[in-house]
Amino acid sequence: MALRKQLWYAAYTKSRAEKKVLQELQQMGIETYLPLQKRLKQWSDRRKWVEEPLLRCYIFVYIDMSDYFRVLNTRGVVRYITFEGKAVPIPEKQIDVLRKIVATEADVEVTVESFHPGDKVRVVSGPLHGLEGELVDFRGNRRVMVRFEQLGQHLLVSVPAGFLEQMR
């Protein structure tokens, strides 16, 4: 009996439906990942820490092709992220980077802005050791940008310049 190959895929969800989709998929026994970030929200009468999706309207699923349509037919799932009509697998290395970033509770800003390519850098010290990306000056802070090409998203993470080395 051949083993089915499981891969990570990004599914696009309805707005603000990420956590509900996560629950439904988990109840179906599908391995999922929803990177969450704590943010301090300000209302007129109070302030409160809330967990919000790092990448709005995206959830990651670890499936083989037998679960493809089960995920797609889940309430709140709109579509997979595709290229030329086919769902694009997300490299496990990128999921690991997301997990590492979320675990460090680093100051992360997500943007869809397009930047000019900068120096390729690697984090050589600190909690994000091993992270690779592009160096970007953004709003006066030095940050590492990690591109997730398949998602059209970019993560900007503040890293002290002394923690970086240039890659060749």
Q: Tell me what pLDDT residue 60 has.
A: 97
Domain of residue 157, CATH code: 2.30.30.30
- Same-domain check for residues 111 and 75: no
Q: Mean of the pLDDT values across residues 148-154?
A: 71
pLDDT greater than 70 at residue 153: yes
* Domain assignment of residue 2, yes or no: no
Residue 161 domain boundaries: 95-166
Question: What does pLDDT average to over the chain?
Answer: 84
* Domains held by the chain: number: 2
Residues 102 and 134 in one domain: yes
In a domain, 62, yes or no: yes
CA distances from 68 to 57, 71, 79 (A): 18, 6, 11
Residue 140, pLDDT above cutoff 60: no
Q: Is residue 65 part of a domain?
A: yes
- Give the pLDDT confidence score for residue 115 in this predicted structure: 47
Check which CATH number belongs to the domain holding 59 and give it. 3.30.70.940
Give just the sign of the alpha carbon dihedral 122, 154, 111, 44.
negative
Provide the pLDDT for residue 112: 64
- Pick the last residue of a domain from 38, 72, 90: 90
23 domain residue, yes or no? yes
Note whether 71 and 114 are same-domain residues. Answer: no
Task: Pick 23 or 112 by higher pLDDT.
Answer: 23
Q: Regarding predicted confidence, which is higher, 108 or 51?
A: 51
Residue, of 11 and 126, whose pLDDT is higher = 11
CA 143 vs. chain centroid, Å, equals: 17
> What is the band of 114 on the pLDDT scale with cuts at 50, 70, 90?
very low
Say yes or no: 103 and 74 in one domain. no
Supply the pLDDT for residue 137. Answer: 66
Is 115 in the same domain as 75? no
Percent of the chain with pLDDT over 70: 83
Looking at the structure, tell me whether residues 40 and 77 fall in a common domain. yes
Phi and psi at residue 4, to the nearest 5°: -80, 135
pLDDT band of 43, cuts 50, 70, 90: confident
Assess whether 69 and 113 both reside in one domain. Answer: no
| Domain endpoint, select from 66, 90, 114 | 90
What is the per-residue pLDDT across 47-80, written as a single tens digit (0 to 9) for each? Answer: 888 889 989 999 999 999 999 999 999 999 999 9
For residues 82 and 15, membership in a common domain is answered with yes
Can you give the chain as a three-state secondary structure string? CCCCCCEEEEEEECCCCHHHHHHHHHHCCCEEECCEEEEEEECCCCEEEEEEECCCCEEEEEECHHHHHHHHCCCCEEEECEECCEECEECHHHHHHHHHHHHHCCCEEEECCCCCCCCEEEECCCCCCCCEEEEEEECCEEEEEEEEHHHCEEEEEECCHHHEEECC
Stretch 83-87: mean pLDDT: 89
Query: Which of residues 103 and 136 earns the better pLDDT score?
Result: 103
